[in-house]
Amino acid sequence: MSNIEQTLSIIKPDAVERELESQIKEKFKSNGFTITKEKKLKLEKSDAEKFYKVHETKPFYNDLCEYLSSGIIIVMVLEKENAVKDNRDLMGATDPKNAKDGTIRKLYGISIDKNSVHGSDSIENAKIEIDFFFNN
Ligand code: CMP
């Protein structure tokens, strides 16, 4: 039975600044993902605060929102079977120093903040995050 899912991916400012867009997209494509929607934009800090609302009680929330709104980002909808989990596996651990070889964060991440990519952590949040960027 086919289990096609969609997930939201963001190429973060550190990776856009280092011109890693095409390498990262190639990683998605060579791992079976189709990029069905995409846009390039710069968020206001208040938008980043809405996007990362689930983290609002965390000590890193303010820095995280400052950072996501500090430069251009590329937002994409990725589609494949089991897209949510497979994208998380392909991204690797949140902190690049704990990420496995071959993952995007191991290859390109600089630090836990500048970890190059964001990916939805559940099917439910993928729907919310896709709506946030594409259905308004
Ligand atoms: P992301 O997958 O975009 O989701 C939330 C982000 O918070 C995460 O990637 C990290 O870049 C950032 N972050 C900063 N500090 C932490 C931390 N201690 N634990 C988890 N995420 C953190």
Cα–Cα–Cα angle for 71, 65, 132, nearest 5°? 85
Overall average pLDDT of the 93-108 stretch: 98
Whether the CB of 118 sits within 6 Å of ligand 1: yes
Mean pLDDT of 88-95: 98
Catalytic residues: 118
- Say yes or no: CB of residue 130 within 6 Å of ligand 1: no
- Angle (CA) 82-118-77 rounded to 5° is 55
In this structure, the number of other CB atoms found within 10 A of the CB of residue 102 comes to 10
CATH topology of domain 4-134: Alpha-Beta Plaits (3.30.70)
- Considering only CA atoms, which of 10, 2, 21, 20 is closest in space to residue 118? 10
User: pLDDT at position 136, please?
Assistant: 65
Q: Where are the domains of the chain?
A: 4-134
63 Cα nearest atom in ligand 1: 14
**Model confidence band, residue 85 (pLDDT cutoffs 50, 70, 90):** very high
What is the strand order of the sheet 73-81 is part of? 34-41, 73-81, 4-11, 117-119
pLDDT over threshold 90, residue 82: yes
